[in-house]
């Protein structure tokens, strides 16, 4: 039985671009709601279960980010300056981060007695990878931006879906491979576990741009 003949199913990948901003906003709201649950809000179990679904906001954000990276790179053409592109993306993330987060980490490092060394330890994301302290999403996003040029070449070639499949298998195997109680490796695994949506977004960027159905 052909379900599509009974119930017309239509989709346009171009909608992911058209509604990119609302999707970003929705994902941020979902993440905030999820953190309300994690912060120990006293709410009924049913409500807490619904709020936990906000965790999917991270995956939506990464999917749309991957599509956005394809747009950003493809519009530069074949003569793109990769170093300049990476620096541009890092500036967009790091400048607001440093402005908004520096006061907190100054206070935090003074409060815990680590001083100036502690400030640079926290502000540089080293604390996240070694102690799981810090903004994990930015700690993940920065290395993703750095390797995006390589990922773009793999995921925009004529073998892009084969390359995507190989990358997804590698990422998921590494993410779930048992390594025991090792904070650094466990942290890397938890971040890798969230990257498939970014890879998929980068891979389907051309279809989204062409509004394929």
Largest Cα–Cα distance in the chain? 69
Sign for the pseudo-dihedral over CA of 170, 173, 175, 180: negative
Q: Per-residue pLDDT tens for 37-83?
A: 555 557 677 766 766 777 778 888 899 999 999 999 988 877 899 99
- At 112-145, the pLDDT tens digits run 888 999 999 999 999 999 998 888 889 999 999 9
Is pTM, for the whole model, over 0.75?
yes
pLDDT in tens, 179-199: 888 889 999 999 999 999 999
Q: Is 182 helix (H, G, I), strand (E, B) or coil?
A: coil
């Amino acid at each position: 039985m052909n379900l599509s003949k009974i119930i017309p199913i239509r989709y346009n990948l171009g909608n992911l671009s058209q509604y990119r901003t609302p999707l970003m906003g929705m994902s941020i709201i979902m993440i905030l709601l999820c953190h309300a649950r994690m912060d120990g809000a006293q709410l009924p179990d049913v409500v807490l279960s619904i709020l936990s679904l906000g965790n999917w906001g991270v995956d939506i954000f990464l999917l749309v980010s991957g599509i956005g990276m394809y747009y950003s790179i493809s519009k530069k053409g074949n003569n793109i300056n990769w170093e300049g592109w990476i620096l541009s993306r890092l500036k967009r993330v790091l400048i607001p981060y440093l402005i908004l987060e520096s006061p907190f980490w100054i206070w935090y490092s003074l409060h815990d007695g680590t001083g100036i060394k502690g400030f640079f330890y926290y502000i540089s994301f080293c604390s996240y990878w070694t102690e799981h302290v810090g903004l994990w999403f930015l700690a993940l996003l920065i290395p993703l931006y750095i390797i995006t040029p390589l990922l773009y070449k793999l995921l925009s070639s004529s073998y892009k879906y084969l390359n995507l499949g190989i990358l997804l298998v590698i990422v998921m195997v590494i993410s779930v491979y048992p390594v025991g109680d090792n904070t650094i490796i466990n942290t890397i695994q938890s971040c890798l576990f969230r990257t498939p949506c970014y890879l998929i977004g980068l891979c389907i960027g051309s279809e989204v741009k062409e509004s394929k159905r």
